[in-house]
A = this chain, B = another copy of it.
């Protein structure tokens, strides 16, 4: 009954994709196992423990080659820990994402280093929508990326404000990066992917489930230097984003509003009951986010590496290449989740930079490409 085990499962990157497909985000056991043994071993153990494949419905459904195609078809790439583009902030969480699926060109780690999460109620007031749009536009105008959840209301207003200022904005989804949710935001998500990034820890094709929204909220908080809640009712999910930020010692801002407004009650509660800072405009938010600037950025950034200058696609191809045996260009396209048509150009760059060596149609990493430099 079970599908044949894909050779991709022996690759750390794709084993992580398999785990992201098989398990919901926030699994502590998997997080521990990944840290201790890596993804290939964790996945193998999962298969062994499964006994009969029927016990793990999703294991029977696992089609890694199909997922790799979906990643490519979505114009997405897979990030795993250790990739230069991997945003270090997410590793603050006890259950960091197994991998990240990313659509859009900008370097995710660089973007997160200068990003602010702007979140709030779906059922926002005209006042809240205006403030969110102004903050999105103002932050983008000052060179900050705006991270949000692409939901109705505050999220969308913040994204649109950033887009209006021709800034970068990051939509973190509770579904696959190729799934438009909500459907009415299909064009908004395309616009975000066009200049910014659409990010998810669940694989392409995945639908938004309740638990995935909560997990997604932690990523919104951890992909930014600070989280600002523009409007939130007392039960708004955006308060969980603020909680994640606070838990991980990231500053939280809240926009006040009329005390008679139910959609400001959550903000007022944050300001009364937590150390959230009252913010009224872009300058306040930038000040809040800048506070943690230096102590945050550096300790978690790896030392410079020869691969730091690579474009995301080039890096993905380099990272997919073996160290000893060689892999074909087609194989590297599959392993890296890249468009096969774009791989030859990337290989040419990588060879010119001395990061890959090619022979007889096969490619492998150079020894010097693996060195962690000092400056």
Contact = CB atoms under 8 A, between A and B. Distances in A.
Contact of A256 (B127, B130, B271, B277): B271
A66 interface: no
Interface string A263-298: 011001001100001111100100000000000000
B255 A257 contact: no
A258 interface: yes
Contacts of A281: 259
A170 interface: no
A131 B280 contact: no
Contact of A131 (B127, B259, B284): B259
A282 to B, nearest CB: 11
A284 B265 CA distance: 13
B277 A272 contact: yes
Nearest to A276: B278
Interface in A229-285: 255-260, 264-265, 268, 271-272, 277-281, 284
B284 A278 contact: no
A278 B256 contact: yes
A126 to B, nearest CB: 11
B256 A259 contact: yes
A268 B278 contact: yes
Nearest to A125: B258
A258 B259 contact: no
Interface centre among A264, A268, A279, A281 (most CB of B within 10 A): A268
B257 A272 contact: no
Nearest to A256: B256
A64 to B, nearest CB: 49
Interface of A: 127, 130-131, 255-260, 264-265, 268, 271-272, 277-281, 284
> Top 8 closest A-B pairs, CB basis?
A256-B256, A259-B280, A271-B278, A272-B278, A268-B280, A268-B278, A127-B258, A257-B258
Given A259-B281, A271-B271, A271-B278, 17 more contacts: A127-B258, A127-B260, A130-B260, A131-B259, A131-B260, A256-B256, A256-B258, A256-B264, A256-B271, A256-B278, A257-B258, A257-B259, A258-B258, A268-B280, A272-B278, A272-B284, A278-B278
21 contacts: A127-B258, A127-B260, A130-B260, A131-B260, A256-B256, A256-B257, A256-B258, A256-B264, A256-B278, A257-B257, A257-B258, A257-B259, A258-B258, A259-B280, A259-B281, A268-B278, A268-B280, A271-B271, A272-B277, A272-B278, A272-B284
